[in-house]
Amino acid sequence: MRAYARGGDVSMETDRPLPAQPSDRGPGEVRVAGVTSEDTAYWEGLEHTDEFRQLIRARMRFVLPATAFFLVYYFLLPLANGLAPGFMRTDVIGHINIAYLFALSQFVVAWLLAWFYIRRANNVFDRLAAAVRERAGRGRRAAP
Instruction: Name the average pLDDT for the chain.
Output: 80
pLDDT for the residue 16: 56
Q: How confident is the model at residue 44 (pLDDT cuts 50, 70, 90)?
A: confident
Determine if the pTM surpasses 0.75. no
13 backbone dihedrals φ, ψ, rounded to 5°: -90, 125
As a whole number of angstroms, the distance between CA 72 and CA 23 comes to 54
On whether the CB atoms of residues 76 and 106 are closer than 8 A, the answer is: no
Cβ-proximal residues to 81 (8 Å cutoff; 6+ apart), any chain: 88, 99
The secondary structure of 5-41, three-state, reads CCCCCCEEECCCCCCCCCCCCCCCCCCCCCCCCCCCC
The model's pLDDT over 57-86, given as tens digits with 9 standing for 90+, comes to 999 999 999 999 999 999 999 999 999 999
DSSP for 71-87, written as a single string? HHHHHHHHHHHHH-HHH
| For range 107-115, the mean pLDDT | 97
Q: Examine the pLDDT at 3 and tell me if it is beyond 60.
A: no
On whether the CB atoms of residues 97 and 89 are closer than 8 A, the answer is: yes
As a whole number of angstroms, the distance between CA 66 and CA 70 comes to 6
